Amino acid sequence: MYKVILYYNFHTIEDPEAFCRAHKKACQALNLFGRVYIAAEGINGTLAGTAEQVDAYKQYLWDIPGFAPTEFKEDQTDYVPFVKLIVKTREEIVSLKTRETYDVNKEGGRHLSPEQWKAVLDSDEDIILIDVRNDYETRIGHFEGAIRPERENFYDFPEWLDEAGLDKNKKVLMYCTGGIRCEKFSVLMKKKGFKDVNQLQGGIINYAKTVGDAHYKGKCFVFDDRLTVPIEENQEQPLTNCEITGEPCDTYLNCANPDCNRLFICSVEGAKKYDGCCCEDCMKSPRKRPLDPDNIYMPTRKWYQYFDEKR
């Protein structure tokens, strides 16, 4: 059994390049796999390894001045869902691509614990509930009644907010996978004049581990080889359908045409019908990967780059 951790910390790093080099060496020494992004504003990562390796990494990060408050969301898996280790610098650890400055530690929304979040959803309070994730994530799972903006990229959310016409006097609750996107979007909403902005502490993953699946339907998309993790314990059927056959399905597949490589929801029958491709045109590609009927959902790896650009 292995551990997968998801974490972030908005703490100023004076020399991101030097921090990155030291961090990569530490991760390599522990034989961890996953992705870690470092910027002047802080760190954002997801890593996997044995319990001993992961626990050693957590202590390593906590021992760095300023990073002791880092919170980790943990999950267990039968295998390491990453093919390699990536540790690199970025301008921001999560970006809305605006000219705004975001001091998430002073200007962000109020953090609601999973218990507080559930209590609000249990009540009849009139709220605005926003899913701050990309559209391909929300299709397979979400909180009941949430507004799910049809946006493929997080950096498209400021434009959506300007167009949404939401009541700025209403109480706002927002959530994402692990919490990091809410940190910046809550600041943006407050800058836009929203009076009562709240975010789910630790995101969906922490909520499920703490209070279960109350008010949540379906699964949660994750950015590793697993692609999805179950949240709703007694889910009767998928929330969405195969894009080829139309049958209920919530399993993702990368198009077998490497020039497309689009991630789409596809059943076993759909994969066989289009030979692992998303459309008939992609089936004609001379570079099409052969479909292995025994390993239809084997990750093709190239999608890491796809998601690095979309988050």
| CATH classification at residue 57 | 3.30.70.100
For the annotated catalytic residues, the residue numbers are: 176
pLDDT on residue 298: 75
Please indicate, yes or no, whether residues 38 and 112 belong to a single structural domain of this protein. no
pLDDT over 90 at 233, yes or no? yes
Tell me which of 221, 256, 282 is where a domain ends.
221
Answer yes or no: is 43 within a domain.
Answer: yes
What pLDDT is recorded for position 297?
A: 84
Give a three-class secondary structure readout of the chain: CEEEEEEEECCCCCCHHHHHHHHHHHHHHCCCEEEEEEECCEEEEEEEECHHHHHHHHHHHHCCCCCCCCEEEEEEECCCCCCCEEEEECCCCCCCCCCCCCCHHHHCCEEECHHHHHHHHHCCCCEEEEECCCHHHHCCEEECCCECCCCCCHHHHHHHHHHHCCCCCCEEEEECCCCHHHHHHHHHHHHCCCCEEEEECCHHHHHHHHHCCCCEEEEEECCCCCCEEECCCCCCCCCCECCCCCCECCCEEECCCCCCCCEEECCHHHHHHCCCCCCHHHHCCCCCCCCCCCCCCCCCCCHHHHHHHHC
Per the structure, the complete domain to which residue 285 belongs is given by 238-300
Per the domain annotation, does 230 fall within a domain? no
> What per-residue confidence (pLDDT) applies to 133?
97
Per-residue model confidence as pLDDT tens digits over 58-78? 999 999 999 999 999 999 999
CA distance 136 to 63: 37
Mean pLDDT of 166-194: 97
Q: Is the pLDDT of residue 304 over 50?
A: no
Q: Are residues 163 and 214 in the same domain?
A: yes
Q: What are the CA-CA distances from residue 259 to residues 16, 45, 99, 284, 302 (Å)?
A: 34, 28, 33, 12, 11
What is the rounded average pLDDT of the residues 37-57?
98
Which residues are CB-contacts of 303 (< 8 A; sequence separation ≥ 6)?
A: 254, 261, 263
- Range 23-49 average pLDDT: 98
CATH number at residue 214: 3.40.250.10
Specify the pLDDT at position 300. Answer: 60
Q: How confident is the model at residue 306 (pLDDT cuts 50, 70, 90)?
A: very low
Q: Please indicate, yes or no, if residue 306 is contained in any of the structural domains.
A: no
Are 119 and 216 found together in one domain?
Answer: yes
- On whether both 139 and 193 belong to a single domain, the answer is yes
311 within a domain of the structure (yes/no): no
| pLDDT score recorded for residue 114 | 98
- 116 and 66 in one domain? no
Give the gyration radius of the chain's Cα atoms. 20
State the Cα torsion 241-311-177-183 to the nearest 10°. Answer: -140
Say if residue 148 is in the same domain as residue 203: yes
Task: Evaluate whether residue 118 is within a structural domain.
Answer: yes
Confidence of residue 311 (pLDDT cuts 50, 70, 90): very low
Q: pLDDT per residue over 223-232, tens digit each?
A: 998 999 999 9
For residues 243 and 204, state if they share a domain: no
**Is 97 within a domain?**
no
Token pair, residue 226, equals 């697993």
Q: What is the pLDDT of residue 294?
A: 83
Listed residues 196, 221, 246: the one ending a domain: 221
Both 110 and 206 in one domain: the answer is yes
Q: Are residues 129 and 214 located together in one domain of the fold?
A: yes
Q: Is residue 307 part of a domain?
A: no
Report yes or no on 99 lying in a domain: no
- Residues sharing a CB contact under 8 Å with residue 12, sequence separation 6 or more, in sequence order: 40, 41, 42, 66
Q: Angle, nearest 10°, between helix axes 114-122 and 203-211? A: 80
Give CA angle at 221 (19, 179), nearest 5°.
50
Domain stops at, among 36, 62, 89: 89
| Residue 213 sits in the same domain as residue 116 | yes
Interval 240-298: pLDDT, tens:
999 999 999 999 999 999 999 999 999 999 999 999 999 999 999 999 999 988 888 87
What pLDDT score was predicted for residue 310?
41
Q: What is the DSSP pairing of strand 71-77 with strand 2-9?
A: antiparallel
Q: How many domains does the chain have?
A: 3
pTM of the model: 0.91
> Do 271 and 189 belong together in one domain?
no
> Among 12, 8, 203, 197, which Cα is nearest to 103's?
12
Same domain, 263 and 180: no
Q: What average pLDDT does the segment 20-39 reach?
A: 98
